Amino acid sequence: MSTDESRIRIVWVYPDLLSTYGDRGNVLILARRAEQRRLPVETMEVRSDQPVPRSADIYLIGGGEDGPQALAAQRLAADGTLRASAESGSVIFAICAGYQLLGHSFFAKGVQCPGLGLLDLHSDRGPTRAVGELAGDIDPRLGLPPLSGFENHGGRTHLGRGVNPLARVTTGVGNDGTTEGAWFGKTLGTYSHGPALARNPALADLLLRWAIGADRLPPLDDTWPDRLRAERRAAVAAPAGRP
C-alpha cells in the first residue's frame, strides 16, 4: 500500500485545527511501536491549508473545539483525499471531534454540520458534558483487551447499522452511555481522547497490523503501559474522588 517502498506512512491530519488533548501522542506511539519492530516509518503533519497526501497507510485525526472542527470537516470534504484513501484501504484513526466529523453530521457552534459520511453515524449535543475516565469491553472480533481512556466531550453519537461499536461502556459515557466509539473496515473512531494509544497499546498494534496486513507483530515489553492500565482500572473501581 505504501508508495514509498516499505515505509509505513503516518499522516497526522490538520494538527493546526484538531490537536487539543495531546493528540500528538498517538502519532508518537504508533511511530515508536513500529520502530521497535524495525518497521520503517515516516510521519507527516498536514496543515489545513495543505492538500492531504494520497494513500498514506495511517491517517490520524485528533480532537478539537467547535469552530476548528467545523472548519476541518469543510476542508476535508473539499479535499476529498480521506474518502478516496479509506476506500482504497488506508487506516483511519479518529478521536473525539475527529471521530464525530467522520459521521454523517455533527453539532458545532449551535448548528448541525455535515460530516464526511465515512462512518454510518451522527452526533448531536448531549444533556451534560462527559468528563472523566472511560472504560469498556472492546468488540470481541477485534481481539483486544478492554479500552482504557479519558473522555471530555459534550456530544452524543448515534450509530447506524453500517458500523460496529468499538466497545460496550463499563465506566463513563462514550457514544451514549452504552456504547463507545465505532469501527468499519479499517476506519476506527473513539471518544477516548488525546493519547488513547498510550493506555491502549494493543489498539496501537491493531492499527499497525491493519496498515501492513499482518496478523501479528512481535511482542514488546509493555511493563509500564500494563502498570498504567492496571492502576487506572483500580482507580475506576475505587470510590469516587480517589486519585
Strand duo 187-190 + 179-184: pairing:
antiparallel
Part in contact with another protein (CB under 8 A); list of ranges 4-12, 24-32, 160-168, 174-182: 24-32
Closest CB 147 distance from another protein, rounded Å: 16
Coil vs helix vs strand at 181? strand
37: left (phi over 0), alpha (psi -120 to 50) or beta: alpha
In whole angstroms, give the CA distance from residue 198 to residue 23.
11
β-bridge partners, 105: 114, 122
Rounded (5°) CA angle 96-85-161:
55
Site string for another protein, 95-134 (x = CB under 8 A): ------------------------------------xx--
Q: How many CB atoms lie within 10 A of CB 44?
A: 14
Closest CB 28 distance from another protein, rounded Å: 5
Contact positions with another protein (CB under 8 A) in 182-241: 193-195, 198-199, 224-225, 227-228, 231
Contact positions with another protein (CB under 8 A) in 69-88: 71
How is residue 208 written as a grid cell?
499497525
Contact positions with another protein (CB under 8 A) in 30-49: 32, 47-49
Site string for another protein, 152-171 (x = CB under 8 A): x-------------------
Contacts of 88 (CB under 8 A, 6+ apart): 1, 55
First to last CA, the chain: 44
Part in contact with another protein (CB under 8 A); list of ranges 17-25, 110-118, 135-143, 205-213: 17-25
Q: Which is nearer to another protein, 163 or 207 (CB)?
A: 207
Summarize as ranges the residues that interact with another protein (CB under 8 A).
16-17, 19-25, 28-29, 32, 47-49, 65, 67-68, 71, 131-132, 150, 152, 193-195, 198-199, 224-225, 227-228, 231, 243
